[in-house]
Amino acid sequence: MSFLIKKLFFNAIFNSCLFLLLFIGIQNSSNKSKVNFLIDETIELPISFIVGSSFVIGSTLGSFIIDLNRE
């Protein structure tokens, strides 16, 4: 159980660092777009933020699901 908690904590810290680097990297991004949801749409966000945040969120959820299923 202790190993699982360490692994989940490492994954959370690693993906948080990736998200922080994403914020630093998109400072000068000028290409913006809106994301259309079923009900509403978002404000204009940089395309690099949309792509990068989807990668980080997918990485986080994927690592959590795989680690929890191995238990």
User: Model confidence over 23-32: pLDDT tens digits?
Assistant: 888 887 778 8
Q: What is the mean pLDDT of residues 3-31?
A: 86
Q: pTM of the prediction?
A: 0.74
Tell me which of 3-12, 27-36, 50-59 is least confident: 27-36
User: Model confidence over 52-68: pLDDT tens digits?
Assistant: 889 999 998 988 888 77
Q: Mind giving me the DSSP string for the chain? A: -HHHHHHHHHHHHHHHHHHHHHHHHTTT---EE--B-SS-B---EEHHHHHHHHHHHHHHHHHHHHHHHH-
Q: What is the mean pLDDT of residues 33-46?
A: 83
